[in-house]
Structure 1
């Protein structure tokens, strides 16, 4: 019946291409578990119609690890917590080698990440050197994730030829102050807007399972829909020792899959990427289910401070599902 949220979504999202709003996303998140297969099936239909079967593959590497002054409660790279990650810098030859190895998997995107509030002059100079070296040596798009930016820094990164900038909102605005206290949700939002206006692609997502309510999870999906990023990485909390969220429970696999499908229905044309925590939350079978429930991009290999699945395992899954890797020419 049309009052059913999946019936509404079939018309609004699948047929008309209009994403669900926050209230509608909440209705999806509240569906009973025996409707999960129907929800995943519809999300897959939406993905195939509005995005196609191709999967975008990305690798990431940390240029500066640890020692961050911010207090993001999920992050082991904060210098404020007793987590075992310590500050370290990666040299440019190692950065280029990581980009080369990423390209060899078939990936089209390589993201340089730094654990900072925002980049200082030293970091911007290293990024410039690294981007130039990668562009000269490897046929791959270069993305960056360097924290909050000024307008001048946004313009400088765009001038370097940075293809995409990642800056996650992390969670709903109403939940943010329980996750971070050293900067505001609005500061993150403002950086995202500057990135979009400068012509770089915007990658903006967050982490599910940080104590937010279903209402706040739906709120977050609605806020991402308003922002309209090119890519949304979906992470699931992997509680790290020494952080304030170390004792939070892992999200149940069925809840994670429901979230994936609901976010696809909110963002029908967006690159929806598997990111951190999926290995613990979903395992092999759940990872497959997510690829058939709205996901159309993955990070291969390890993350910044946690281990991921092997690249070969993910690439074999794509072959098995008959999902081709998006070619570099299709991302330009």
Structure 2
């Protein structure tokens, strides 16, 4: 049998076709001494099929904490003893955050709420917030509000939300070990509605939660099946008071293998660095990932954890001669 990197070069780089489940497993099993070659291949795939530009995004939590769901990694769940309590932002705060995000060079601003799904109060707040942001600053507005009905999908599209984030979080086979208050299929159905509505679908996951290597590969190919515009890749940052609070931080070499494997499974997708990269990879690993398949980053802080300073990421992109993607005039 030919080496998996040789086969991946022909299939993904030359042919533009993503790797299968079995092939992703092989990539994730590569020895440490082949990681540089793997990252080089993933970077070549990214450059050929996505180009050199990097999309920069900032996020803000409209409603923080008090979530009724029991996602075992999340300190915003109201079921755990983690120290995040329910807080709402007002419209001026949302606009200010969007303006600050745009000032970094970001083209994307995502409004996030810790909920099972939006009620009328939240939809009203989002409606007013999106209108105020669009009037004040030239930036694309995305949302992440949990599971949706078809009517809510249609309304978000109508008010100008161009991208919706709803992560699968974990592979179907591992999902019951991560969340028990809703099903993988409920998440999947929301993703299908969003994709079919014409909004861009942002759908990723979280790795390093105790899943097997095979389940990591399963997540990659299930994401590929959805054909999302963007895949945010998160690494577990164990939060005190959550069921996963005592898990070890993912090994940086496994994290880099995962970055490259996701790129080889989805050669044309926007693959975004998201939460946990600072802890898992550090500055050097962050650079390696940007040269190993990543072509988008969240800058600044996350929802309940600190990120790298936005200026540090912007300077790193400049150092790597990676241009920041300009705002698409689609609004």
- Cα 1:141–1:229 change in 2 (3 A) is same
Q: Which residue of 2 aligns with 1:161?
A: 160
Whole-angstrom distance in 2 between the partners of 1:125 and 1:140 = 20
Q: RMSD of aligned C-alpha atoms? A: 0.8
Deviation at 1:331, TM superposition (A): 7.2
Q: Which residue of 2 aligns with 1:29?
A: 28
**Contact 1:13/1:19 (CA < 8 Å) preserved in 2?**
yes
Counterpart check, 1:283 vs 2:275? no
**3-state secondary structure, aligned to 2:173:** helix
**3-state secondary structure, aligned to 1:62:** strand
Q: Which residue of 2 aligns with 1:100?
A: 99
Whole-angstrom distance in 2 between the partners of 1:90 and 1:47 = 37
Whole-angstrom distance in 1 between the partners of 2:222 and 2:107 = 27
Deviation at 1:329, TM superposition (A): 2.4
Q: Which aligned pairs between 1:7-156 and structure 2 lie closer than 5 A?
A: 7-156=6-155
**Contact 1:61/1:98 (CA < 8 Å) preserved in 2?**
yes
Deviation at 1:18, TM superposition (A): 0.2
Whole-angstrom distance in 1 between the partners of 2:328 and 2:145 = 26
Whole-angstrom distance in 2 between the partners of 1:331 and 1:314 = 26
Find runs of 4+ consecutive structure 1 residues off by over 6 angstroms: none
TM-score, L = length of structure 1? 0.99
Q: Which aligned pairs between 1:154-233 and structure 2 lie closer than 5 A?
A: 154-233=153-232
Q: Which aligned pairs between 1:240-259 and structure 2 lie closer than 5 A?
A: 240-259=239-258
**Contact 1:108/1:331 (CA < 8 Å) preserved in 2?**
no
Per-residue CA distance 1:132-156 (angstroms, 9 max, x = gap): 0000001000000000000000001
Q: Which residue of 1 aligns with 2:309?
A: 310
Whole-angstrom distance in 1 between the partners of 2:228 and 2:183 = 19
- Cα 1:95–1:48 change in 2 (3 A) is same
Any unmatched runs of 5+ in structure 2? Answer: none
Whole-angstrom distance in 2 between the partners of 1:9 and 1:330 = 35
**Contact 1:163/1:201 (CA < 8 Å) preserved in 2?**
yes
**Contact 1:53/1:324 (CA < 8 Å) preserved in 2?**
yes
**Contact 1:172/1:223 (CA < 8 Å) preserved in 2?**
yes
How many residue pairs were aligned? 331
**3-state secondary structure, aligned to 1:112:** strand
- Cα 1:73–1:118 change in 2 (3 A) is same
